[in-house]
Structures are given as C-alpha cells and as structure tokens.
C-alpha cells in the first residue's frame, strides 16, 4: 500500500521536503507518494490544499501525512483541519525558541529560501559562476579559489564544486589530472603555487571503470588497465605532495562536501 505524503509550504517547499524526506527514509519498505504544495500563502490556497489532501485520503482509504512549514497562524489553523496526520514544523519548534530567546518570532513567511539575505545570495551566485568558469582545468584563476579539487576524470570533482558553490558560497575550482600530468607523475605546474588549497578526490578503480564505461563503452578510457594506472599515479601525486584526499566511491556530493568542510575548516560564505 502506498501512502500519500504532502509537503505544504508558504514558500518553495524546500524545507518541508527536506524534513519530510529525512523522516520518510526512516521507514524503509513502505511506499510513499510525494506531493508538494508550494506557495500556499492565503486562506483560499490553504483551503484548496485541505480539499486536495482530504480527496486523496478518501480515494486511497488511508489518511495522508502532511509535513507543514506554514508560518502564519491563520494558515496553519486551516491546514490542521485536514483529515490527515499533520506534522506542523513551526508549532513544535517556534514556541520553545521564543521562550529561550525571550522574544516573539515574526511569523512572517518566506525567509528561508528567498533572497532576503541578499549578501549571502549574491555569494552563492558568484561562487556558482566561479565554479563554472574554473571547471575542468579551465581559466585557472586559483588565486581566488577557496579550494581546488584535483583528481582523475570522473572522480566527482565538477558536481562537488557546484554543490559547494550553490549550498555554501564556496569558491571551488577543479583540475583534472590529464594524460600528460599522469605520464610525468609530477604535480602540474598550474597547481604548484596553490598547494595549500589542493584537495584530492580518490575513487576505486572498479567504480571508476563502471562510471566511464557508461559514458564511453569499451573505450581505452574505460578500460581496467587505464583506470588502474590513473588512480595509482594520482594517489602517488597526492601522497608525494602532502595533498589531503577523500575517497568518493560510496559518497554523495552532499557527503563529500560536508567532509571537505570538516577536514579543511574552510569558512563558508553562506551560513545557515
């Protein structure tokens, strides 16, 4: 049986989805159907949301689960009337925080994923543009970088740089170890002045072969001897130059990014 889950928000729904997803992963084996209702910012829209939620409950014979991040009291009261398990994020946490901080919250919507923090938002966009123009060894404006990821082709450098930029406003460049670099087995000259910023991404040969095989089936690029050679020389370069490394084989870009922040202590430009 599939249970329908609603994410109800007066803004983008990103917070509601994040919290809901996090909880749903705790119930393995159950099937959920997810519906996001963003921009529920008026009584009318809240009532329409309740009608949709109730209709699904009637149709499926099981009450939906609703993750709500609505902030305004009048809208929250409407949603709580839905025939559903309503998990009301603000109701639970805002009260204790108000008591702790000795002040009332603003109960105003739409602050978390908008551009009200214009400095932080601009930093994220600037960092994203930086990551794009300094991707894959291009541009090489490493003086401006907070970090330069180094690794063989398809070790996870590009998506990690983009995530570091968009999530944390970090200026992340990346440099792929090319055939020439690997033949000479030395630290590429473009990287030498920036040793302290370098961070190596490792990946196991078998996983690397699998990824490359999907991109260029049966090529030399995807052959086992080639990936074994590349990963071995890359490891040697990292070790000889005292470059910090992280194995990305079983990690998501979120995990790689969080590990990099933790192990380097880089200051993010955007703070929660």
Q: Does 61 bind its own copies (CB under 8 A)?
A: no
Number of Cβ within 10 Å of residue 131's Cβ equals 24
Tokens representing 22 are 């996090």
Check: CB of residue 95 under 8 Å from CB of residue 44: no
Q: Does 116 bind its own copies (CB under 8 A)?
A: yes
Cβ proximity to its own copies, 231 vs 257, nearer residue? 257
Which of 80, 87, 235, 245 contacts its own copies by CB under 8 A? 87
Tokens representing 186 are 């030395």
Which of 2, 44, 93, 185 contacts its own copies by CB under 8 A? 93
Q: Which residues 6+ apart lie within 8 Å of 63 measured at CB?
A: 57, 83, 84, 85
Listed ranges 62-70, 195-203, 223-231, 232-240: which one lies at the site for its own copies (CB under 8 A): 62-70
Cβ proximity to its own copies, 90 vs 229, nearer residue? 90
What end-to-end distance do the CA atoms of the chain give, in Å? 37
Q: Does 58 bind its own copies (CB under 8 A)?
A: no
CB of 51 to its own copies, least distance (A): 17
Q: Which residues of 155-181 are buried (b: 16+ CB within 10 A; e: fewer)?
A: bbbbebbbbbbebbbbbbbbbbbeeeb
Which of 4, 68, 134, 158 contacts its own copies by CB under 8 A? 158
Which of 2, 108, 138, 210 contacts its own copies by CB under 8 A? 108
Radius of gyration of the chain (CA): 24
Cβ proximity to its own copies, 189 vs 262, nearer residue? 262
Listed ranges 98-106, 143-151, 169-177, 183-191: which one lies at the site for its own copies (CB under 8 A): 98-106
Check: CB of residue 248 under 8 Å from CB of residue 203: yes
**Residues in 233-272 at the binding interface with its own copies, rule: CB under 8 A:** 250-255, 257-259, 261-262, 271-272
Q: Does 7 bind its own copies (CB under 8 A)?
A: yes
Rounded to whole angstroms, the Cα distance separating 21 from 271 reads 22
Which of 166, 194, 204, 233 contacts its own copies by CB under 8 A? 166
CB of 247 to its own copies, least distance (A): 13
Rounded to whole angstroms, the Cα distance separating 91 from 141 reads 47
How many residues bind its own copies (CB under 8 A)? The answer is 76
Q: Which residues 6+ apart lie within 8 Å of 270 measured at CB?
A: 117, 120, 123, 124, 167, 168, 169
Listed ranges 9-17, 72-80, 195-203, 225-233: which one lies at the site for its own copies (CB under 8 A): 9-17
CB of 213 to its own copies, least distance (A): 14
């Amino acid at each position: 049986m599939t249970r329908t889950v609603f994410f109800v928000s007066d803004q983008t729904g990103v917070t509601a989805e994040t919290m809901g997803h996090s909880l749903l992963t705790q119930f393995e084996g159950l099937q959920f159907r997810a519906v996001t209702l963003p921009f529920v910012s008026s009584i009318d829209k809240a009532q329409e949301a309740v009608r949709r939620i109730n209709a699904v409950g009637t149709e499926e014979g099981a009450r939906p689960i609703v993750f709500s991040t609505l902030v305004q009291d009048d809208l929250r009261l409407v949603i709580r009337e839905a025939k559903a398990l309503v998990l009301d994020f603000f109701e639970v946490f805002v009260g204790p925080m108000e008591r702790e901080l000795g002040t009332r919250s603003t109960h105003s919507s739409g602050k978390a994923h908008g551009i009200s923090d214009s400095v932080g938002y601009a930093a994220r966009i600037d960092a994203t543009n930086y990551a794009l123009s300094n991707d894959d060894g291009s541009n090489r404006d490493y003086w401006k970088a907070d970090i330069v990821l180094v690794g063989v082709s398809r070790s996870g450098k590009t998506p990690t740089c983009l995530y570091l930029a968009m999530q944390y406003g970090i200026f992340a460049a990346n440099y792929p170890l090319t055939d020439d670099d690997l033949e000479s087995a030395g630290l590429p000259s473009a990287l030498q002045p920036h040793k302290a910023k370098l961070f190596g991404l490792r990946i196991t040969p078998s996983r690397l072969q699998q990824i490359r095989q999907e991109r260029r089936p049966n090529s030399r690029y995807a052959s086992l001897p080639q990936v074994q050679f590349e990963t071995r020389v890359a490891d040697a370069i990292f070790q000889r130059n005292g470059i910090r490394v992280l194995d990305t084989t079983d990690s998501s870009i979120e995990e790689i990014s969080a590990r990099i922040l933790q192990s380097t202590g880089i200051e993010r430009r955007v703070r929660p």
